A and B are shown apart, each in its own frame.
Chain A
């Protein structure tokens, strides 16, 4: 029971990170391998706000999210839009964006290592005990989970209840048809990419409240997010949430019962099962 709860609490942050990536890939069609670096940046900014200005990381989200939004919007316009424009087909864009975001990944990672050093960081925030079903958990984990749920709910409302959200979903299904019904596909893609970055950075800020982080751990989280996205089905919001839950619980189980050093092995086992059984994702429909 304790493992399940720990897994679920962990999965809240995973879900945010994966939602960010699935929006970027599903709508803006960019497989953003630098996603983990946005997450790490979120960790560091939350840390810096807390350490230097004593700003509560939850309030810090209101600073971090707009910053990440602006930063990712800029990246899309400067670095990625030219690739979208020059790509002759989807396959070409896929290869180009993978290589370009690898570049961004190393560049951002290198800059953060120069800025913050390579060592691990952490800080004390709400690190008191909190009881659920008679077992104790870190209060910071519970608060981070609740914040993640609130953010995901707001995202859901945005996607399914607002005009712009509907446009985003339309572009995800078919950019060409969306264009025909007067949706500015280029703008929606840029906004969605930025939104995805903001979600990921929020995930990072929440993660930093209970997790020890360093400047070069981004790629591990990119991996996890990618696997969640594929498990859930590309561009599928519900799928990403369910897949994040599965991954969070599976990792906690493996770390508790086998070895904490084998978490990647656990994610990969899930990944292989998905690839062999349902490459279209949990809720995805098989394309013909």
Chain B
């Protein structure tokens, strides 16, 4: 398997606070990779550095053979990294189809016109929103807005897809649907990095994972052994999510 994304001794410092402390890991093509840890452990900061929302203080991030750390977010998006946001971010004045087209038009593949439109329709169908192309997204439910975001990210046909707590805030039946959807994406061969708190989802979905705590990597490897690592258990102890 070839490397899809590689994070090399990446560090992020905000003033005196070290949010991410020299973390390294590799993600292979077609892998579903989990990035987990208690609240405030630096997972989202890590994701923000991969997507270019933040620039690392030191270290580098490679997408395939290209260095992407230090590039602006839109350059990274065009090179093939797409993401969803922790607090869902849809474009309220556009309809569902146009929301998804945004990813198709400006992202990795830069389609335009009918091509972008038909891809958007296809993806809306794919995430379960077929027939609602022209519904205003502000009138949609939370899970449907999350679906829009996912379809928008997929529309750029990314080399790496970042899901930032995409399953958070869903009720049990919605959660089931969400997990199935991600499982299907993996089956299609997508490379996905997910930051997640929902442990069930991590266990069912991920191939490998990295556990972070207070900005450092404390464990890495297959999901089952990593989650039973004593240090990981200690890091989570007392945390409601474990």
Contacts and interface: CB of A to CB of B under 8 A. Distances in A.
Interface of A: 285, 288
Contacts of A288: 14, 54
Contacts of B54: 288
A288 B13 CA distance: 10
B51 to A, nearest CB: 15
B45 to A, nearest CB: 10
Contacts of A285: 15
Main secondary structure of the interface of B (DSSP, over half): loop
B240 to A, nearest CB: 25
Nearest to A286: B15
Interface string B45-63: 0000000001000000000
Q: Which 3 A-B pairs have the closest CB atoms?
A: A288-B14, A288-B54, A285-B15
Nearest to B19: A288
Interface residues of B, number: 3
Contacts of B15: 285
A171 to B, nearest CB: 22
Nearest to B12: A288
A288 B15 CA distance: 9
3 contacts: A285-B15, A288-B14, A288-B54
A83 B54 CA distance: 33
Contacts of B14: 288
Interface string B1-26: 00000000000001100000000000
A165 B237 CA distance: 45
B169 to A, nearest CB: 23
Nearest to A285: B15
A285 B14 CA distance: 11
A9 B54 CA distance: 44
A285 B15 CA distance: 9
B78 to A, nearest CB: 24
Nearest to B13: A288
A151 to B, nearest CB: 34
B75 to A, nearest CB: 20
A216 B134 CA distance: 54
Nearest to A288: B14
A98 B20 CA distance: 40
A285 B54 CA distance: 16
A288 B16 CA distance: 13
B48 to A, nearest CB: 10
A272 to B, nearest CB: 22
Nearest to B14: A288
B105 to A, nearest CB: 26
A288 B57 CA distance: 12
A268 to B, nearest CB: 27
A140 B14 CA distance: 49
A279 B14 CA distance: 18
B138 to A, nearest CB: 15
A200 to B, nearest CB: 33
A288 B20 CA distance: 15
A162 to B, nearest CB: 28
A288 B54 CA distance: 8
B136 to A, nearest CB: 19
A121 B97 CA distance: 65
